[in-house]
Amino acid sequence: MGSDYSDAKIESWETINGIKVPLDSSGQYLNWEEVSEDRTEAQRLTDPYGVLQYGIGGEAEDGDFTVWLDFAELPDGRIVLDACWDSESGGTIDSFGYEVVSREEAAAAALAMCDEALDACFNNEVQHDEEGHNADAYYFARAVAKHCGVKGYAKMPHDRLRRGKVPSIRGKA
């Protein structure tokens, strides 16, 4: 394992369902299946800016603003939701949100994260660029709902997750 932006120093370990899961200095979970031989580093479990799959944002006259999102499942079924924001024009990347929630709470929490990202875009005078991201602003929430088996999304084909109505998973925890 080479050292790059997706690797992090292991600061502690947590045993979850008999599996030793590493954590970084900020308490974020790292990938227990991608640990260095000397067990001092591991790949990040979630890496929104590395994956660049779920994005909310776009460009505006005065710059750009995008929130990138990612999720993963821990050995006990809890879901990690992770988001960062970036402004290429401003040369800034920073954390936006990180939550560990039960599988039952994950879809509603992901939807709330999408809503917060849209609010941040509005505050930065940026509209979501559906064409540029090849998805609407709720693609992430639908993908988490599908992963967690939420009725109406569990069997939805992946291509249908990219666009649609605002997910009807509000308040379902």
pLDDT (tens digit per residue) in 70-124: 999 999 999 999 999 998 877 888 999 999 999 999 999 999 999 999 999 999 8
- E strands within 10-167? 12-16, 19-23, 30-35, 41-44, 54-60, 63-73, 79-87, 92-101
Q: If DSSP codes are grouped into helix, strand and coil, which group holds residue 28?
A: coil
Percent share of the chain, pLDDT over 70: 95
Total length of the chain: 173
Surface-to-core class of residue 110, CB atoms within 10 Å of its CB (0-12 exposed, 13-18 middle, 19+ buried): buried
Q: What is the pLDDT of residue 173?
A: 40
Q: What percent of the chain has pLDDT over 90?
A: 76
Q: Give per-residue pLDDT as tens, 18-47.
A: 999 999 999 999 999 999 999 999 999 999
Contact predicate 72/47, CB 8 Å:
no
Calculate mean pLDDT across residues 49-59. Answer: 91
Q: How far is CA 173 from each of CA 78, 94, 101, 116, rounded to the nearest angstrom?
A: 13, 28, 10, 18
CA–CA dist 44, 31 (Å, integer): 6
Q: How far apart are CA 8 and CA 35, in angstroms?
A: 10
Provide the whole-model pTM: 0.90
